[in-house]
Amino acid sequence: MIVSIISIGDELLIGQTVNTNAAWLGKELSLHGARIQQILTIPDDDLIIHKAIDESTSDLCIITGGLGPTKDDRTKKVLAAYFEMPLVEDEATLNHITEFFARRNRPMLPVNIDQALLPKGCEILPNRMGTAAGMWFKGKGKSVISLPGVPYEMKGIFLEEILPRLSKYYKINALYHQTIITHGMGESFLAERIAKWESSLEKAHLSLAYLPSTGIVKLRIGSNKGNVDKPLIDHKIQELQTLIPELIVGYGEDSMSSVVAKLLTKLNSTVGTVESCTAGNLSSSIILNSGSSIYYRGSLLTYQTEMKSSLLGIEPEFINRYDVVSEEVAKHMAEAGKKRLCVDYCLSTTGIMGPTSGDSNHPVGTVWIGLSTDKETIAKKFHFGDNRLRNIEMCTLSALNLLRITLLKDFSL
Amino acid sequence: MIVSIISIGDELLIGQTVNTNAAWLGKELSLHGARIQQILTIPDDDLIIHKAIDESTSDLCIITGGLGPTKDDRTKKVLAAYFEMPLVEDEATLNHITEFFARRNRPMLPVNIDQALLPKGCEILPNRMGTAAGMWFKGKGKSVISLPGVPYEMKGIFLEEILPRLSKYYKINALYHQTIITHGMGESFLAERIAKWESSLEKAHLSLAYLPSTGIVKLRIGSNKGNVDKPLIDHKIQELQTLIPELIVGYGEDSMSSVVAKLLTKLNSTVGTVESCTAGNLSSSIILNSGSSIYYRGSLLTYQTEMKSSLLGIEPEFINRYDVVSEEVAKHMAEAGKKRLCVDYCLSTTGIMGPTSGDSNHPVGTVWIGLSTDKETIAKKFHFGDNRLRNIEMCTLSALNLLRITLLKDFSL
C-alpha cells in the first residue's frame, strides 16, 4: 500500500509552523505497513491544490490543512469541485457542531454552520475534537482523504476513523520493528560502543536506525519480513542488554518519565522535588503521565538563592561557604525537601542554565543533582552546554535517570 | 525569486525525524524575499531524486540530506550524474576534512576521504561545522544547491555561503509582514469579530493568515510590495488594536511568557506561583526567558490535596467545605503563596486535568486560577477539554494571561 501526503498551508512554507503532522502520519502509516511515497507541502491556492491532487499516483493520498472556517482555507472547495460533488448540509455534522458549541456555552457562528456543508458523495469522517469533519473521496481512479490541520483533531480522526478502515480497504504487510530507548551517551560514541553488534545485525539482514533527540538516542531494529524475524530481533535485543545495560531506559513507547512512573507505582512509593535551575520542568515531567497524583506529592521551587533559606531552612552561611551550585547544597536541598514534603524519594537540582552565571562561580552548564532516600543522600555533578533550554531539558532527564537507577536498585532488593 | 525545497531521507517519510530543516529554510528565505513554491520530501532513491531535480521549475532548488558518508546517502552521486560532472578530489575540502579529524583526535576513515570527491564544475560551499561540503550546480537551465541534512551544518553553510550570494545572483523583493499574537478567542470567533477589518485588508491587497496553536492564534498580515506597504500595515494594526485590545498579547517573535517577563522587569516586580494541576509547568514557562532570576522567586507545588494544608496552612475543613477545585481554595492558595514566597504577584492553579476526576467533584477540564497582588486577590474559572496535556498547557497560558492583564493595569497606573 503506497501513500502520499499533501500538507497544505502557507505557514508551513514560510516556516512559521513545523510540519509535525506529516511526520506523525508517516510514522503511524509506516507502523501499519504502508510505504510513504512522498510528502508534498504546498500553499493555500486553489490551482496548486487541484494540480497536486490530480498528479498524485499513490494508492491513497492524505491531505491535511485548509479546512478551517476562515477565508484562507481552500481545501474543501477545491476537493468538492475536483470530484464534482455539490456541497450540501450534513445533518449529523451540523448536530455535532451545534452540540460542540452548546457544551462550551458559546454561540454558534454562520461560518461554523458552513462547516456542516460537505461534498455529497464523500465518506464523512466525524471529528470528535473539533468542527471540521474529515472527508474520504473515491473517484477518478483516486482515493483521497482530507483532514484538518489542527494536530489533535487530525490525529483523532486518523486513529478513530481511518485506521480501522485501512485493513479493510487495503492489503497491508506490516513492518516489524522494535525500539530501544537509551540515555547517557551521544549517538557517535554509542555507535562506536556497539559497532560489532551493529555489524551482526547487517549480516542478519536487519536494519538499524539511530534516532537522536535531546538526551535520548532511540535505536530501532527493523525487519521487512514482518513477524517472521521477531525471535531473531528479540535475541539481538538481549545481546544489547548485556552490552549497554546502564544506558537502556526502556522500549517501544516508553519515555524516561513513564518508566520512572511505572517503577514508583510498583514500589508504592512517593516522590517530590526541590528544584532551583529546572524551576518546575522536572515536576511537570513527572506528572505527564496520568495517575501521577498517586506517587507525586509536590515540590518546593527555590529559584532565587534566598528561597533556599526561607523555604528549606538552609543557612545563608552554609550556601556561601560551599557555593549555591555544590554537592553540599544539592544534598541539603534533597534532604530538607524529603522531610518537608514527606516523600520516600526527593530529587534536587541546582545549576547554571545560562546565558549568564547568576549567583554561582561555576561556568554555564554546571549542575549538581541530589537525591535523598530512606537509606542515603547522594549527589552527582553534570556539565551540559551553553544552550539554556537544552540545559533545562538535560538536567530534567538526568535527574529522572538518577531516580530511575536508584528505584531499580531498591526494586531488586 | 521562486525557490523550491527538496528534503531527502527515509527518516523524514517514516516520521522518525520531523522536517525542521525545511521550516528553517522556508523562514530564512521568506524573510529575504524569496517565495517558497513547494517543499517535497522524498526517499534516498536514485531514480526518485533524479526525477525530482528534473521536474523542478523554480528559479532555485535547494536540496537537503543524503550527503553523509554511509551507503544510504545518494544525493551527491545523483547530482554528479544529472549535471554530467565527474567526481574529482577537491584539495581544499580534503585538507578541511583531515584537519577536522585531527582536531578531534579521531582517525580518518576511507569513507571520510571519499567526502572530498566532489563534482567537477559545481561551486563548492565549504562546511565549517562538518565534513560534507555543500554544492551549487548551474546547468540544464537549472540552479540547484545541495546541503547536508544535519541541521547545524545546513544552517552554517546557508548563512555563511548562500545568503551573501543570493542578493548578487537574484533580484530579491523582500516580502514584508507583521505578526500579531492573540489569546482568548478561537480562530472562528476571532475571524467573525474582525470580519469587516479583514475585508478592508483584502481591498488594500494585503494578505491575512490565521495561525492557530494551543491557546494562541497568530495573525500574519503580508504584502508582496515589500517595505512599500509598511505604513499601510502599521495603520491596519492600529485599527486592530482598537478592535480587539484585550486579545492582543504581542507582536512578531513575542510569546505569552516573554511579554509577561518584559512587564515584570519594567515594573521591577517579583512573581511566584502556587501550583496544583499545572505542577510546575507554569513556573517553568516563566523561566523560559533568560534573566528570569530577577523577577521569578520560587513556587510551592501542592499537587496532592494534603500538601495544600501542610505547605500552605490551608485547613482541611476549608478545602472540604468548598471543594479542592473552587474559587475559595484558588484565592487562599494565591494569598498564602504571596506571603510565604514574599512576592508582589502570586498565581495559583487548581483543577482537573484528566483523564480522571481525582479528589474533586467537577468534570475534567474545570480549573480555577487565582492571583494575589498588593491590592486584591482574584480568581477566574475556566473550562478546558478532556485532553490532559492540552489542559495543562491551556491552564498555564490562561494563568500567564491573567497576570499579563493585571500587570498592564498596574503599569498604566
Query: How confident is the model over A386-397, as pLDDT tens digits?
Result: 789 989 999 999
Beta bridge partners of B207: B222
* Position A54 pLDDT exceeds 90: yes
Residues 6+ apart with CB under 8 A from B271: B264, B286, B295, B296, B297, B343, B344, B345, B346, B347, B403
Q: Between chains, do B12 and A20 touch, taking CB under 8 Å as contact? A: no
pLDDT recorded at residue B358:
66
Q: Mutating which of B40, B210, B275, B301 best tests the A interface, going by the most A Cβ atoms within 10 A? A: B301
* Position B394 pLDDT exceeds 80: yes
Q: Mutating which of B3, B19, B155 best tests the A interface, going by the most A Cβ atoms within 10 A? A: B19
Distance CA B176, CA B174 (A): 6
Residues 6+ apart with CB under 8 A from B51: none
CB of A388 within 8 Å of a chain B CB? The answer is: yes
pLDDT recorded at residue B117:
95
A320, A394, A316, A313: which is closest to A352 by C-alpha? A394
Q: Which residue has the higher pLDDT, A113 or A402?
A: A402
- Predicted confidence band at A359 (pLDDT cuts at 50, 70, 90)? low
Residue B395 belongs to what H/E stretch? helix B388-412
Q: Between chains, do B383 and A104 touch, taking CB under 8 Å as contact? A: yes
Q: From start to end of A216-320, where are the E strands?
A: 216-223, 248-251, 271-275, 296-302
Q: Mutating which of B18, B224, B306 best tests the A interface, going by the most A Cβ atoms within 10 A? A: B18
Q: Which residue has the higher pLDDT, B281 or B222?
A: B281
**Long-range CB contact pairs, A286-291, < 8 A, 24+:** A286/A257, A286/A260, A286/A261, A286/A400, A286/B279, A287/B279, A287/B280, A287/B303, A288/A255, A288/A257, A288/A258, A288/B389, A289/A257, A289/A258, A289/A261, A290/B354, A290/B355, A290/B356, A290/B388, A291/A261, A291/A265, A291/B356
Q: Which among A13, A36, A112 has the least Cβ separation from residue B36? A: A13
CB of B192 within 8 Å of a chain A CB? The answer is: yes
* Position A71 pLDDT exceeds 80: no
Q: Do the beta carbons of residue A294 and residue A261 sit within 8 Å?
A: no
Distance CA B82, CA B96 (A): 27
pLDDT recorded at residue A202:
86
The C-alpha of A27 sits at a distance from chain B's nearest C-alpha, in angstroms, of 4
Q: Between chains, do A70 and B188 touch, taking CB under 8 Å as contact? A: yes
CB of A268 within 8 Å of a chain B CB? The answer is: no
pLDDT recorded at residue A387:
83
Distance CA A311, CA B153 (A): 46
Tell me the C-alpha to C-alpha distance, in Å, between residue A76 and each of A131, B105, B196, B255.
13, 58, 24, 32
State pLDDT tens for residues A238-275: 999 999 999 999 999 899 999 999 999 999 999 999 99
Tell me the C-alpha to C-alpha distance, in Å, between residue A305 and each of A359, B252, B296.
8, 34, 11
* Position A75 pLDDT exceeds 80: yes
Residue B251 belongs to what H/E stretch? strand B248-251
> How crowded is the C-beta side of A275, counted as CA atoms within 13 Å?
32
Q: Furthest-apart CA pair in chain A: how many Å?
A: 79
- Identity of the residue numbered A364: V
ipTM of the assembly? Answer: 0.77
Q: A–B: how many Cβ contacts below 8 A?
A: 247
Nearest CA in chain A to B287: A279
The C-alpha of A395 sits at a distance from chain B's nearest C-alpha, in angstroms, of 13
* Chain mean position to CA B413: 34
- Predicted confidence band at B71 (pLDDT cuts at 50, 70, 90)? low
Q: Which among B40, B207, B303 has the least Cβ separation from residue A296? A: B303
The C-alpha of A287 sits at a distance from chain B's nearest C-alpha, in angstroms, of 7
pLDDT recorded at residue A326:
96
Q: Do the beta carbons of residue A4 and residue A54 sit within 8 Å?
A: no
How high does pLDDT run on average in chain B? Answer: 92
B16 vs A contacts (CB less than 8 Å): 23, 27, 209, 211, 220
- Predicted confidence band at B51 (pLDDT cuts at 50, 70, 90)? very high
Burial of B129: CB neighbours in 10 Å, binned 0-12, 13-18, 19+: middle
A273 vs B contacts (CB less than 8 Å): 301
Q: How many CB atoms lie within 10 A of CB A45?
A: 15
CB of B393 within 8 Å of a chain A CB? The answer is: no
Q: Which residue has the higher pLDDT, A175 or A98?
A: A98
The C-alpha of A300 sits at a distance from chain B's nearest C-alpha, in angstroms, of 5
* Position A224 pLDDT exceeds 80: no
pLDDT recorded at residue B271:
98
pLDDT recorded at residue B174:
64
B32 vs A contacts (CB less than 8 Å): none
Q: Do the beta carbons of residue B12 and residue A23 sit within 8 Å?
A: yes
State pLDDT tens for residues B112-121: 888 999 999 9
Distance CA A157, CA A151 (A): 10
State pLDDT tens for residues A283-308: 999 999 888 999 999 999 999 999 99
* Position A172 pLDDT exceeds 80: no
Nearest CA in chain B to A18: B23
pLDDT recorded at residue A214:
84
The C-alpha of A380 sits at a distance from chain B's nearest C-alpha, in angstroms, of 22
Distance CA B26, CA B4 (A): 9
Distance CA A394, CA A350 (A): 13
| Phi, psi values for residue B75, rounded to 5° | -55, -50
Q: Mutating which of A255, A303, A308 best tests the B interface, going by the most B Cβ atoms within 10 A? A: A303
B306 vs A contacts (CB less than 8 Å): 297
The C-alpha of A286 sits at a distance from chain B's nearest C-alpha, in angstroms, of 9
pLDDT recorded at residue A53:
97
- The percentage of chain B sitting over the pLDDT mark of 90, rounded to a whole number, equals 73
Helices (H), B206-341: 230-243, 256-267, 281-286, 305-310, 316-322, 327-341
Q: Mutating which of B284, B295, B364, B390 best tests the A interface, going by the most A Cβ atoms within 10 A? A: B284
CB of A47 within 8 Å of a chain B CB? The answer is: no
The residue-averaged pLDDT of B374-378 equals 97
A234, A205, A209: which is closest to A221 by C-alpha? A209
Q: Which domains does chain B have, with CATH numbers?
A: 2-169 (3.40.980.10), 176-251 (3.30.70.600), 256-412 (3.90.950.20)
State pLDDT tens for residues A146-156: 999 999 899 99
A280 vs B contacts (CB less than 8 Å): 275, 279-284, 287, 299, 301
Q: Which residue has the higher pLDDT, B333 or B174?
A: B333
Q: Which among A14, A281, A341 has the least Cβ separation from residue B284? A: A281
The residue-averaged pLDDT of A346-369 equals 88
- Predicted confidence band at B320 (pLDDT cuts at 50, 70, 90)? very high
* Position A3 pLDDT exceeds 90: yes
Q: Mutating which of A20, A299, A344 best tests the B interface, going by the most B Cβ atoms within 10 A? A: A299
B269, B298, B270: which is closest to B284 by C-alpha? B298
The residue-averaged pLDDT of A89-93 equals 96
The residue-averaged pLDDT of B269-286 equals 98
Using left for φ > 0, alpha for ψ between -120 and 50, and beta otherwise, residue A401 falls in alpha
- Predicted confidence band at B359 (pLDDT cuts at 50, 70, 90)? low
Residues of chain B numbered 53-92 and touching chain A (CB < 8 Å)? none
* Position B279 pLDDT exceeds 70: yes
Q: Between chains, do A211 and B280 touch, taking CB under 8 Å as contact? A: no
How high does pLDDT run on average in chain A? Answer: 92
Distance CA A413, CA A113 (A): 62
Q: How many CB atoms lie within 10 A of CB A227?
A: 10
pLDDT recorded at residue B168:
80
B387 vs A contacts (CB less than 8 Å): 129, 152
Q: Do the beta carbons of residue B151 and residue B61 sit within 8 Å?
A: no
Nearest CA in chain A to B283: A280
* Calculated CA dihedral for residues B380, B382, B388, B392, nearest 10 degrees: -40
Q: Do the beta carbons of residue B348 and residue B334 sit within 8 Å?
A: yes
